[in-house]
Structure 1
Amino acid sequence: MQSVTLSFFRFNSIPSRLWAFGQMASARFALRAVPDLQTFKLCGSGSGEGFTPIPNTAVYAILATWPDHDAARRAMHGQRVFRRYREVADEALTIFLTPASARGKWAGVEPFEPQDIEVGEPIAALTRATVKPKVALKFWGQVPNISDVVGKDPNVMFKIGIGEVPWVQQVTFSIWPNKRTMAEFARHDGPHARAIKAVRDGQWFKEELYARFRVDAVEGEWEGQTPNLTEVPQTATPNPIEVAAE
């Protein structure tokens, strides 16, 4: 069944950050030649709580789809483009996912192939949108409050805001203990709910994609450890792992 990988790389030094920024253009040529790689997206990240209009020049991400997890691992350990990212980066982390549901398109196509699986716990959520340029200022006026609320939510296990094109093509990715906690956050009356209503009423998005995933495996390290994101924490209010913090 289809494998989706989301890899994060942290670059601490100025030379390594410049290298990573250059890869946003040049790495796509090497990635197109990787066997079994179906689709890929090269993304930067936001600072602060992970989803703000201010970029975080230290963290970059690669989202990719594969025929299965074995094919993904063979490429990531065997292909030079992925090895080079790990060599230059100070930290690297890859999350292996299986899509359970998806609706909408990404750049005009449907990249995820939902499988007939039980998501279980925890659950990962990805939202991708292209913001209409004429309403970009309104949209980003809402985001800081949303980001702050997500960061303070005691249930979110992992979160980051990434994007292909600054300010207009944005992705949010988060991992929650279960469907209930994720749904409660989405429905709660606050900045997030009000922003969603504003988006719907004003038709701010040119394109949207919403997907849910089973979290299958985590490889690598982040902030000096390999985070446990495949099992729900025993505590009722797990501490969120901040991906985009410098």
Structure 2
Amino acid sequence: MGTVPAQLRRVPGLGFYKLLGSGFDFGLRPNLQRYGFLASWADEAAAQAFFAGHPVWQAYQQRSQELWTAYLAPLQAHGLWDGQAPFPASADGATPAPDAPVAVLTRASIRPLRAWSFWRAVPPVSRTVAAAPGLLAAIGLGELPVVRQATFSLWESGRLMQQYAYGAQHEGRHRDVVRRTRQEGWYSEELFARFAVRRTEGLWDGRNPLPLG
């Protein structure tokens, strides 16, 4: 992963991108077998050309037991990542039907002196996410261990995602964490983004959790 950024900077049509590690159960224990590649593209043709034949991606394919790819269109985003707003909503990301599938990305740069408070709050929330109706897949990701963290989740529908985030069953834990992030100043930078899922390819844990065309 450390040698790839110089090559990615020369990929036609590739805009913002991140190479991400992962952890077990959204926690601190690293998962050295699972990684994420997040990227925004000038258009879908540029993305397809990269995945079809670029040496970087071919090398990843040769070393992988599974690959899963989702093509997403930004619906809503607020906040920054490295001082950038990388996911502006576009015309083709117009508001979908409430029962259409969505993906959600959250990320934060955690202040070092607040890291202990943050990580103590993670386990109860991660347990409720795992049991949430409509959740198809989820993973905790990291740009740097402990202090630069992200999550990606895939939902059967925007309605069920909203029900988890703001419904009465989970609102206590969720709202408490949101409140504490503001009151205790956990983050120096954060971003939330929601996406329409256009199509998906490949396998995640032996299956495609959302087999769209």
Q: Is the TM value for this pair above 0.5?
A: yes
- The separation in 1 between residues aligned to 2:174 and 2:212, in whole angstroms, is 26
For 2:17, the equivalent position in structure 1 comes to 40
Question: Which of 156, 172, 195 pairs up with 1:213?
Answer: 195
- The separation in 2 between residues aligned to 1:175 and 1:60, in whole angstroms, is 16
Question: Which of 81, 90, 108 pairs up with 1:129?
Answer: 108
Question: Gaps (5+ residues) in structure 2?
Answer: none
Q: CA deviation at 1:154?
A: 2.5
Alignment of 1:224-235 (within 5 A): 224-230=206-212
Contact 1:215–1:229 (CA under 8 A) maintained in structure 2: no
Alignment of 1:69-218 (within 5 A): 69-116=44-91, 117-120=94-97, 121-187=100-166, 188-218=170-200
Contact 1:122–1:229 (CA under 8 A) maintained in structure 2: no
Q: CA offsets per residue over residues 193-214 of structure 1, 9 Å max, x none?
A: 3212111221211001111101
Contact 1:122–1:230 (CA under 8 A) maintained in structure 2: no
> Which SS does the other structure have where 1:100 is aligned?
strand
Contact 2:201–2:211 (CA under 8 A) maintained in structure 1: no
Question: Gaps (5+ residues) in structure 1?
Answer: 1-22, 232-246
- The separation in 1 between residues aligned to 2:190 and 2:212, in whole angstroms, is 27
> Which SS does the other structure have where 2:149 is aligned?
strand
For 1:223, the equivalent position in structure 2 comes to 205
- How many residue pairs get aligned? The number is 206
Contact 1:123–1:213 (CA under 8 A) maintained in structure 2: yes
For 2:8, the equivalent position in structure 1 comes to 31
> Which SS does the other structure have where 1:112 is aligned?
coil
> Which SS does the other structure have where 2:89 is aligned?
coil
TM-score by length of 1: 0.79
Contact 1:157–1:229 (CA under 8 A) maintained in structure 2: no
> Which SS does the other structure have where 1:91 is aligned?
coil
Aligned-partner residue type, residue 79 of structure 1: H
Q: CA deviation at 1:40?
A: 0.9
- The separation in 2 between residues aligned to 1:135 and 1:78, in whole angstroms, is 43
Contact 2:133–2:160 (CA under 8 A) maintained in structure 1: no
Q: CA offsets per residue over residues 85-114 of structure 1, 9 Å max, x none?
A: 011111111111011111111000111121
Identity of aligned residues (%): 38
Contact 1:99–1:214 (CA under 8 A) maintained in structure 2: yes
Q: CA deviation at 1:53?
A: 1.3
Q: CA deviation at 1:175?
A: 1.7
For 1:58, the equivalent position in structure 2 comes to 33
Q: CA offsets per residue over residues 18-72 of structure 1, 9 Å max, x none?
A: xxxxx2x11112211211111210100010x3x1111111101110110122210
- The separation in 2 between residues aligned to 1:203 and 1:128, in whole angstroms, is 15
Aligned-partner residue type, residue 79 of structure 2: G
TM-score by length of 2: 0.91
Structure 1 residue ranges, 4+ long, deviating more than 3 angstroms after superposition: none
Contact 2:18–2:37 (CA under 8 A) maintained in structure 1: yes
C-alpha root-mean-square deviation of aligned residues, in Å?
A: 1.5
